[in-house]
Amino acid sequence: MTLMARNWWAVLIRGIAAVLFGILALLWPQLTLQILVLLFGAYALVDGIFALVAAVQAASRRRGFDWRSVGWPIVEGLAGIIAGLLTFFYPGITALVLLYFIGAWAIVTGIAEIVQAIELRRVIQNEWLLILSGVLSIVFGILLFAFPGAGALAIVWLIGIYAIIFGILLIGLSLRLRSMRARGETMTPAY
């Protein structure tokens, strides 16, 4: 059984956190940029911690360090933690700098998720949910870099919609991983 299936609950928590963050962003679009900074910081920090916890647990079950199955989740977790901490240490940053922090975090996270999905495809056929969430993250990051002058309200809505879609994809992936684990499927490469 793949390590990701064993840690399906961490993927579920990340998805729920993303959906909750997205809903909060959409319900209160009048939030000040400073509150948005703190909400994003909390979300990125929690997301990064859970990604790192899953990677550390995976590494502890293996002998030696396997970059493909452990390295990219560590990169993803560290990117989330760094993005979260930067927003807490610099709450007075401008909207433009915040957008670049969020954009860079989304692109790094997306790349890490696509690489993880490619590795997961070696044991599961048609694992498209993680690839789709990775592509969504990269597109979101690129859009933030391409259109940094958008108004604060539009940014709040864009972030909220992204977080909800991303969270739903992660929840779907976690449920699929959980069902595989419950069935006790032995995963063999799907080459």
Mean pLDDT of 89-95: 68
Q: How high is the pLDDT of residue 191?
A: 43
pLDDT digits (tens, 9 = 90+) for 1-35: 467 777 888 889 999 999 998 898 888 776 656 67
Is this model's pTM higher than 0.95 or not? no
The most confident of 113-127, 150-164, 166-180, by mean pLDDT: 166-180
pLDDT digits (tens, 9 = 90+) for 96-114: 777 787 889 899 999 988 9
Place of tokens 């909750």: 20
Is residue 131 exposed (0-12), middle (13-18) or buried (19+ Cβ within 10 Å)? buried
What is the distance between the alpha carbons of residues 135 and 114, in angstroms, rounded to a whole number? Answer: 7
Place of tokens 């390295």: 71
Please enumerate in sequence order all residues whose Cβ is within 8 A of that of 63, keeping only pairs 6 or more positions apart, or say none. none
State the SS3 of the chain.
Answer: CCHHHHCHHHHHHHHHHHHHHHHHHHHCCCCCHHHHHHHHHHHHHHHHHHHHHHHHHHHHCCCCCCHHHHHHHHHHHHHHHHHHHHHHHCCCCCHHHHHHHHHHHHHHHHHHHHHHHHHHCCCCCCCHHHHHHHHHHHHHHHHHHHCCCCCHHHHHHHHHHHHHHHHHHHHHHHHHHHHHHHHCCCCCCCC
pLDDT digits (tens, 9 = 90+) for 125-161: 767 888 898 999 999 889 888 877 665 567 778 888 9
CA atoms within 13 A on the CB side of 44: 29
Q: How high is the pLDDT of residue 41?
A: 84
